[in-house]
Amino acid sequence: MDAQIRDIVTTELAPTATAADPGGLAAAVYAGGRVTFFNYGFADAASKRPITPDTLFNLASLRKVFEATLVALGSARGELRLDDPVGKYLPELHGDYISRVSIGELVTHTSGLLLPTDHPPWPNERFSRDQFIAMLNAWTPPPGVAPGKQRIYSHAGYVLLQLVLERRYEMPIGALIERRILQPLGMTSTFMPERTEDNRAVLAPAIMQRVVQGYSDQGTPIGPPGNQESYYDFAGTGQMFSSARDLGIFIRACLDGAVIDPELRAALAMTERESFRIDEKIGQAMAWEDVRLDGVTIVDKPGGLNNASAYIGLVPARRFGIVLLANRGEYPHEIARYRILPAIARLYPPPMPIR
């Protein structure tokens, strides 16, 4: 079966990461209790530095999965409640609408929030924490929008979730993720660095040497290695960086939780459960989407910037999954959801019904 899985993955991935394509691609597949790595192209085309399982990529919105796990873990431990209003932790939020939004609605994208930083035309300026709070207090929804009544993907909602978590635990978001998720799982190559004035990640030189150069989908270099992008200029609002090897550890924990702490195992499983139905095929969980295709349910999360693409897809019922990391914008990650994962699923018998 290992050879069959390798054939499926290489057949689909190789044409998307040829010598003519910008940058490169790192993939990790967890199946049958093992992680297999696939590497294509260059971390830096100018120096011909190749992609390896230890190359570090910008995770873009995959960061949200880790913040959702913090919420689930806090809920399981009785440290917070999903129905807590955000104002319980941030009393400076007193606007009519935002005061009715809960933690659970932020983490499932059902708050209704849609700020200027969430959609085109993208703003040219960056916002301070005070400006962000002011925007939230002043925000009014369009007709028909109410907390918990719709799914609207919101980056701003997760920036607010960061502030809630930091206030609840009196700790920066990076330290929370490190102590509560990365250290327990043994993920030693995943980082949430602060950034310099020119938006470069603050990382030790030995670590920075493993970071990719990012490219547009047309092959233009964008920013230096370690480039971070954010519309906010306060601490903790940049991106995470990780490797295919470290994310292989993460998907193994999601799929085969017997190897980790029971509370963290339960929290990871909690994040994957659908809480809001979007349409007949797709439901929203905590950061993840639950996708029902013919004969298989996929739990996944994409992320992307103009110089980075990332994807995690899981099939929990059959305990396999995939990570895709590319150092270019607009990588076609949909091939994992619609082609690779369904093809691998056909190699595994469906789980027996519980009687």
DSSP code per residue over 286-316: SS-EEEEETTEEEEEEEEEETTEEEEEEEEG
What is the Cβ-side half-sphere exposure of residue 85, based on CA atoms within 13 angstroms? 14
Predicted pLDDT of residue 257: 81
Predicted pLDDT of residue 353: 56
| Fold type of domain 2-59+207-345 | Beta-lactamase (3.40.710)
Name residues whose C-beta falls within 8 Å of residue 243's C-beta, 6 or more positions apart in sequence: 26, 53, 54, 55, 56, 57, 189, 190, 210, 325
Both tokens of residue 8? 């499926």
The residues of the chain scoring below 70 in pLDDT are: 1, 351-355
Angle, alpha carbons 263-267-270 (nearest 5°): 140
User: What single-letter DSSP state applies at residue 179?
Assistant: I
Whether 111 is catalytic is: no
Residues in the chain: 355
Closest C-alpha among 250, 332, 347 to residue 295: 347
Predicted pLDDT of residue 247: 98
Closest C-alpha among 313, 206, 247, 249 to residue 58: 247
Predicted pLDDT of residue 75: 98
Predicted pLDDT of residue 197: 83
Predicted pLDDT of residue 348: 86
Predicted pLDDT of residue 294: 87
Predicted pLDDT of residue 262: 92
The alpha carbon dihedral of 127, 130, 131, 137 has a sign of positive
Predicted pLDDT of residue 20: 94
Q: Global pTM?
A: 0.97
Residue 70, amino acid: L
Predicted pLDDT of residue 350: 74
Selecting among 61, 154, 189, 242, the annotated active-site residue is: 61
In the chain, CATH 3.40.710.10 sits at: 2-59+207-345, 66-174
| Fold type of domain 66-174 | Beta-lactamase (3.40.710)
